[in-house]
Amino acid sequence: MNTFERIAPQARTTTHEGYMPGFGNDFETEALAGALPIGRNSPQRCPYGLYAEQLSGSPFTAPRVANERSWLYRMRPTVQHFGPMEKLALPLWRSAPVVGEADTPPLPMRWGPVPIPGEALDFVTGMRTVCAAGDVHTHAGSATHLYHVTRSMEDTYFYNADGEMLVVPQVGALSFFTEMGVIDIAPGEIAILPRGLKFKVRLVDEAARGYVCENYGAKFTCPERGPIGANCLANPRDFLTPVAAYEDKDGTPCRLIVKWGGAFHASEIAHSPLDVVAWHGNYAPYKYNLRHFSPVGPVLFDHADPSIFTVLTAPSGEPGTANVDFVIFPPRWLVAENTFRPPWYHMNIMSEFMGLIEGVYDAKPEGFVPGGMSLHNSMLPHGPDYDAFMKGSFSPDAPHKLDNTIAFMFETLFPQHLTRYAAELPSFQADYPKVWAKLEKNFDPARPVWDGD
């Protein structure tokens, strides 16, 4: 049974218990009846003695379509969730590789999966940066991480001031207890945690492994559909934002870790910062089941660009040029006639980091395995390996379903640079470029029709 078969029955339930559907809605939710002020944001005295606090995800004067903020009604204002800050060393979670720490060769690169370590690692201490570009201080670029989790966060909390985090599980389910509610995700689903949101992460299974895109730029949003129209791709109703939930935990040693300006600091406090009893607004975490993505593609001939599989896009400010696109390659029918159906050979200005959640990726049937990853940097060549090329060139011209596959891509404007961690991983496949070595020169000016011989 693949991930999609496991998730599909749950996804067909008629309600979303614990979640509110919609993308970018102006939500309102309260975990205690009457906790949410009605008709105003900051009454003179909030119900139940709560404090009102605004969390802004955009400048106050951003255009209405991009203006995001929420009002949180909490037991203590966030200023009380800070104590003296001590610098925390998390050298494997990088915001940008130090120049010269590792060579980033101008070659396609690929890694096998990294085994989940035996040591105790939570979602923060288990974060390992693979590559990055840009700058947290200028809100441009992103970092790509692997996470390995063997321990839940119980009294440890975290927030990331540098970027929003897109979490792509590959092994094991996780439960994110955030200020604004609880998000549970399993492989085949994703979660998006906005910049500035406090949360802790609990294991649901024995251990967990996956990928994270830390987006320093503008928030992810749904791509325009253009001539596709009002439906298909990722539909807004399939994005789920949690209802309010809180911890009323006092007198217990708690620790808040903050990522700010590329550095980590920790503060000891005596209460849980997850004390938001009610909230309303459009700046909130959400999850999405990739099984709900409705792919669109060629129905007669030729091969569309992979942008048709964009789930979420984080704009750069330049029209059509994403700071990061999150793209998936889900199960789908291939029906194009007289067409080379696998992805073609190409060089792109964008950089492509790929991961495989499960199954087989059609352009790389060997070597690219679930939990693995590849990096095809800006203006570096790649495409189908020899077997995929031959199969794509000579398969019967009949409809064919790609099944048991779910790969994804973080496609970014900026060339990516490796961390030393990634460059020295034992699972690095130094011989990856050899997957194209068997491709032969088939050109023969005397034979206009190539039959493979």
Where in the sequence numbering do the catalytic residues fall?
Answer: 303
Angle at 58 between CA 55 and CA 62, to 5 degrees: 135
Rounded distance between C-alpha atoms, residue 308 and residue 293, angstroms: 11
Rounded distance between C-alpha atoms, residue 65 and residue 50, angstroms: 30
Q: Which is nearer to Fe ion, 238 or 352 (CB)?
A: 352
Rounded distance between C-alpha atoms, residue 205 and residue 173, angstroms: 6
Q: Which is nearer to Fe ion, 352 or 362 (CB)?
A: 352
Q: Do the strands 250-260 and 156-160 form a parallel or antiparallel pair, or are they unpaired?
A: parallel
Shortest Cβ 344–Fe ion spacing (Å):
9
Shortest Cβ 376–Fe ion spacing (Å):
5
> For residue 236, is it left (φ>0), alpha (ψ between -120 and 50) or beta?
alpha
Shortest Cβ 2–Fe ion spacing (Å):
24
DSSP 158-192: EEESS-EEEEEEEES-EEEEETTEEEEE-TTEEEE
Shortest Cβ 323–Fe ion spacing (Å):
18
Shortest Cβ 362–Fe ion spacing (Å):
13
Q: Which is nearer to Fe ion, 352 or 385 (CB)?
A: 352
Rounded distance between C-alpha atoms, residue 325 and residue 312, angstroms: 6
Q: Which is nearer to Fe ion, 149 or 324 (CB)?
A: 324
Give the interface with Fe ion as residue ranges (CB under 5 A). Answer: 352
Rounded distance between C-alpha atoms, residue 256 and residue 387, angstroms: 50
- State phi, psi for 236 to the nearest 5 degrees: -55, -35
Both tokens assigned to 22 = 């919609």
Q: Which is nearer to Fe ion, 295 or 381 (CB)?
A: 381
